[in-house]
Amino acid sequence: MVVVPNEIVDQFREHFQSAVTPVVYRAPGRVNLIGEHTDYNLGYVFPIALSLACYVSIAPASHGLFRAFSRDLARDFSIPIADLPAAEPRHEWSDYIVGVAQQLLKLGFPIQPCDLYIASDVPAGSGLSSSAALEVATALALLGGRELPPLELALLTQRAESQFVGMPCGIMDQYTSVFGRQGAALQIDCRSQTHQYVQLPDTVQIVAANSLVKHELGTSAYRERVAECKEAVAAIADIDPGVLSLRDVSLEFFERIQDSVPLIPRKRARHIVSDTQRVVDFALASRHNDLLEMGRLFVASHRSMQYDYEITCDEVDFMVDTAIKLPGVYGSRMTGGGFGGCTVTLVKPDAVDAFQQKLTQAYRERYNLTPVFYDCEPAAGAGRMI
Ligand code: ADP
Ligand code: MG
């Protein structure tokens, strides 16, 4: 749902029947350009923060509750403030905000009774990280201007998702929402938890296309992949005990020893090791305005997710296969955790309209679904809006 920041204040007042003026915080979603599932393997990723964002408005209250409303789900939530520290997950949307509140309490930030009004235009469950946007905006709202170093903010919101929500995610989504910058992509080193900003060529448009499918397999398969990568590390560490994560494995070393790794972990490792290398190559190609190479790396990354990591699905494979045959397209791949969600495509700016029309037509004919497109201009990271 489109969010108009100036209208949120009125919506807050109307919903909570209150005359107070809330403070509004914004945290963006992100689209990852290359390096998928490499974050929890401590490799590189290459995302941009989006103008699509989650807005959390907050005001103190005297009712003794931690109270929230999600405009997008039309759902209320409340819990006595005294119950926050021991609250258990309910396996629903409120886990994201309660998880964040608990992490702040653990760091010694008291939380006072308050009302939160949540409105987001990041599509949920589509690989553009609505969850991190919600977590980071909530954390900023609950901090209310109290100082926390940005890396701590990214790490605490990641812990909320991995420990409370129960999704063993890497650092990419929350990190990007915090550190995103207008006009630049981030090359994040997930081991050192540092990043460089990389300028993208201005002769290309980045277009995300939502397949509108979300296979339920997502969460369990994610856990499975995390476990399979661990198995691969264990097998490789038998050969070189210095290997603590797949980040420590170069492509050249992997190719030499891969036969010693059992088949499934071998395929998973091949994706992670090669996609980490592709991030480095992509950043270099971007610096050289080499769009053909960037496009080639996109498609190689997709094939790696399709055949080695096995996290794509028919719908997104079809979208990519269709896109790469269209005029003005340099490359296309699935983005995000997998099993549906969005593809991301590098397109010549003057070919974008025709690309969207043709892809829409083909996808409708095949799946009777109309994809939703998002222009992906790199936008700023999280902060206070009003
Ligand atoms: P993604 O992060 O790729 O969008 P996830 O499955 O990680 O997908 O997170 C989506 C979940 O985050 C939703 O199912 C919902 O529980 C929560 N969420 C995201 N945005 C909102 C929102 N605006 N209001 C309430 N919950 C939200
Ligand atoms: Mg998410």
Take atom 7 of ligand 1 and give the residue whose Cα is closest. 131
Query: In the structure, what pLDDT confidence band is assigned to residue 261 with cuts at 50, 70 and 90?
Result: very high
Q: Would you give the DSSP letter of residue 195? A: E
Q: Which CATH class is domain 5-199+380-384?
A: alpha beta
Take atom 27 of ligand 1 and give the residue whose Cα is closest. 93
Angle at 333 between CA 329 and CA 338, to 5 degrees: 155
Take atom 24 of ligand 1 and give the residue whose Cα is closest. 70
Six token digits for residue 198 = 């990389």
- pLDDT average, residue stretch 97-124: 98
Q: Using the mean position of ligand 2's atoms as its centre, give its distance from the Cα of residue 134 in Å.
A: 9
**Are the C-beta atoms of 204 and 187 separated by less than 8 Å?**
no
Q: Give the whole-angstrom CA distance, residue 282 versus residue 299.
A: 12
Query: In the structure, what pLDDT confidence band is assigned to residue 307 with cuts at 50, 70 and 90?
Result: very high
Query: In the structure, what pLDDT confidence band is assigned to residue 224 with cuts at 50, 70 and 90?
Result: very high
| Residue from 134, 334, 342 whose mutation best tests the ligand 1 pocket (most atoms within 8 A of CB) | 134
Q: Give the whole-angstrom CA distance, residue 170 versus residue 263.
A: 24
Q: Note the pLDDT tens digit of each residue in 27-65.
A: 999 999 999 999 999 999 999 999 999 999 999 999 999
* % of the chain residues with pLDDT over 70: 99
Please tell me the predicted confidence (pLDDT) of residue 325: 98
Q: Strand (E) positions, the chain? A: 23-34, 44-60, 65-70, 75-80, 114-120, 184-189, 194-199, 205-214, 329-334, 340-347, 372-375, 383-384
Query: In the structure, what pLDDT confidence band is assigned to residue 4 with cuts at 50, 70 and 90?
Result: confident
Q: Using the mean position of ligand 2's atoms as its centre, give its distance from the Cα of residue 157 in Å.
A: 11
Alpha carbon separation from 315 to 198, 219, 308, 366, 369 (Å, rounded): 31, 18, 18, 9, 10
Closest by alpha carbon to 275, among 25, 36, 28, 5?
36
**Are the C-beta atoms of 221 and 203 separated by less than 8 Å?**
no
Ligand nearest the Cα of residue 100 is: 1
Six token digits for residue 173 = 């989504």
- Judged against a pLDDT cut of 80, whether residue 131 lies above it is answered with yes
Q: Give the whole-angstrom CA distance, residue 244 versus residue 56.
A: 39
**Are the C-beta atoms of 345 and 376 separated by less than 8 Å?**
no
- Judged against a pLDDT cut of 90, whether residue 334 lies above it is answered with yes
Q: How many residues does the chain have?
A: 386
Take atom 16 of ligand 1 and give the residue whose Cα is closest. 93
Six token digits for residue 141 = 């709202």
Q: Where are the domains of the chain?
A: 5-199+380-384, 205-375
Query: In the structure, what pLDDT confidence band is assigned to residue 6 with cuts at 50, 70 and 90?
Result: confident
Task: Go through 110-127 and write b for each residue having 16 or more CB atoms within 10 A of its CB, e for each that does not.
Answer: ebeebbbbbbbbbbbebb
Q: Identity (one letter) of the amino acid at 166?
A: G
Six token digits for residue 323 = 């896109």
Catalytically active residues, by annotation = 173
Closest by alpha carbon to 300, among 254, 265, 251, 340?
251
Query: In the structure, what pLDDT confidence band is assigned to residue 1 with cuts at 50, 70 and 90?
Result: low
Q: Which residues does ligand 1 sit against, CB inside 6 Å?
A: 54, 70, 72-73, 93, 96, 118, 120, 124-131, 134, 336
CATH no. for 205-375: 3.30.70.890
Long-range pairs for 281-287 at CB < 8 Å and ≥24 separation?
282/33, 282/34, 282/46, 283/46, 283/187, 283/196, 283/198, 286/185, 286/198, 286/199, 286/200, 286/201, 287/198, 287/199
Q: Using the mean position of ligand 1's atoms as its centre, give its distance from the Cα of residue 360 in Å.
A: 25
Beta-strand pair 23-34/114-120: unpaired
